[in-house]
């Protein structure tokens, strides 16, 4: 049975900020997963056009996850020591620019570099979203926020 949350007991400003962060972070995450899915769908096309081996193409994903994992570990350690809201406003646009730049590369080496950079910025985005949601979303709304983030 779903429990109804009595919002009259929750600080109105915190509730508003929490809802905005919850929706925005979920949207960012869903869009980043969609961008990754587009590359996965085009792997065979890229491999055929540039006459690459499967290992060369898959190295892009490997570089993405290596940088993604390393940045998440580093952010886990320093999350409380940096201004996370400024960090989010810096990393999200850079992640978008790097993702858009993917369409401009003409060789696999460029894809490798950009995927490593996308891994850096998307890892920061995911950690930031989780941190902001848990910090600003009222405790009673956290299950809903977690469901929204998990939908990506």
At residue 48, does pLDDT exceed 80? yes
On whether the CB atoms of residues 22 and 141 are closer than 8 A, the answer is: yes
> What counts of helices (H) and strands (E) characterise the chain?
5, 0
* pLDDT for res 61: 82
Distance CA 119, CA 64 (A): 5
Q: How far apart, in Å, are the Cα atoms of 16 and each of 21, 146, 148?
A: 9, 17, 16
- Average pLDDT of span 3-31: 65
Distance CA 121, CA 97 (A): 10
For the chain, state the CA radius of gyration. 18
At 49-100, the pLDDT tens digits run 888 888 888 888 889 889 988 988 888 788 778 887 788 778 878 887 887 8
Q: What is the pTM of this model?
A: 0.65
């Amino acid at each position: 049975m779903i429990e109804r949350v009595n919002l009259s007991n929750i600080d109105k400003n915190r509730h508003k900020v929490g809802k905005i962060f919850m929706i925005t972070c979920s949207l960012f995450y869903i869009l980043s997963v969609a961008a990754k899915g587009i590359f996965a769908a085009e792997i065979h096309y890229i491999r055929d056009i540039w006459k690459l081996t499967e290992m060369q193409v898959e190295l892009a994903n490997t570089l993405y996850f290596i940088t993604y994992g390393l940045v998440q570990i580093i952010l886990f350690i320093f999350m409380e020591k940096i201004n996370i809201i400024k960090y989010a406003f810096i990393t999200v646009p850079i992640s978008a620019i790097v993702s858009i730049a993917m369409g401009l590369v003409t060789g696999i080496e460029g894809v490798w570099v950009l995927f490593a950079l996308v891994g850096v910025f998307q890892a920061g985005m995911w950690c930031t979203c989780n941190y902001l949601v848990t910090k600003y979303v009222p405790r009673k709304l956290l299950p809903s926020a977690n469901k929204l983030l998990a939908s990506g």
